[in-house]
Chain A
Amino acid sequence: MSTTEILFWFLSALAILSALMMVTSRNPVHSVLWLILVFFAISGHYILMNAQFLAIVNMIVYAGAIMVLFLFVIMLMNMNADTEPQKNKWMKMAGAVASGSLMLVLVAALRDTELRSKGLEGAEGSIGLISQLGKVLFTDYVVAFELSSVLFLSAMVGAVLIGKKN
């Protein structure tokens, strides 16, 4: 096995195990920490696929900003494993079976897709670099970029309006 294959399997196992731990851990703070680990594993995958800019943005925005926001809210509400509401056993089992069935169907449907493409890891091309992405972002997609700034402004105003005491 080459180094990239070992890295792929390691990061995939890390992502799936952390995701399972996130869903199953009773303490919400532990869930947040496991989810941060998932995001780091996905960032590792981005780096393997030569998408450096997205890897860094994923780490800063998701693992940094968004998960800290979650952590703040959870600690603000003083949640722990004792206050965690639990669904009954049968509901949990039904949820697991439902999602497992979806996974079974998707895997069965996609199992016979062509293996023609070669490995996606490697340093070919430079589309993941910030210079290339920035050039396209500020020429072809400048309207979407400006619209997303308006979206952020409205989200900020909305969060303040919803969050303030009346």
Chain B
Amino acid sequence: MTPSRRGFLAGAGLVALAGCLGNSTSELSGSRSLPTAEEQLPLPTSPENLRDAARSGGPPKDGIPSIDEPAFLDASEAGFLADGDPVFGVVRDGVAKAYPQKILAKHEIVNDSLAGTPVTVTYCPLTGTVQGFERGNTTFGVSGRLINSNLVMYDRHTDTWWPQMLATSIPGPWNGDPEIQSLREFRLVWTSWKQWRDQNPETEVLSTETGHAKNYSRDPYGSYNPPGGYYANETLLFGGLNPSDRFDPKRVVMGLRTPDGAAAFAKNALREAGQLEGAVGGTPILAVFDGRYDTAYGYLNPDERSFDRDGNRLVDAAGTSHEPDALPLSRVHTFDAMWFAWAGYYPETNVYQ
């Protein structure tokens, strides 16, 4: 009995010690230089109410470790990826990069740079959202808290909370009075490894050599290839802010928001229709499907210009043909999200299908 008791006490001591050590973070010194958006994005409620809606997801701060020194491989070296595996792709100044979902499911944040610009690539498995942000001289980490089931990031200079989908600072326990501002976003395309590689054969791929001892073949939530587990069922683990039964909770919508409001297009409806019209804050918008990547782009379309589809391209009234991601309109940041998460953050959203 005595040895067992000693062993248990020693174990409890280790856990207590670990609890102390676990709160140490890699905070950055000096003043923060973070590029922010010219206009603040809409919030569903006050920043204080959002702070109060935060809940622990289980892990402590940085318990889910961000990748801070990412390494990349050539496409031919990425044997760990199957054709149908999801990747999040971006091209900047002719350099294409793919971030595999199976790696980001374990880290949620990659602090990287694109064409010399410091950026952070973020992914929340629970809401199915991928967002890219400029990060200036800071890095972002995983706070361990969730709002609307969505990742809450923090910046390592000021400890300010930044809910991923809202892309806007809110007060939190580590910084109670931050300036409320929105991050500069950039688009990452959620597509399959095959589709990305076919379009970008010279692409680099995030390596599994992340500096962390993880098993990247195991996604505890489920699977996208084939669909299964949390990603495919209707069960929420942490719930949403504003429940809506308009669609199945995990149905994927392509969402966009401007300072004037939000709109969501059902992705499968876009896939079938090719393009859908809508409005956000009274301004007409146009969403077009891109079969190359199985994704879609949203545009402000104040003059309500129309386009004819010619295969995957769109032809304007003058007969000029355009790729779906390059229409002569003002493109709005658009990204995939599970319906419950979009409706939770943007309950007044317009919906098109």
Partners in one complex: no
Seen from chain A, the residues whose Cβ lies within 8 Å of a Cβ on chain B are none
Seen from chain B, the residues whose Cβ lies within 8 Å of a Cβ on chain A are none
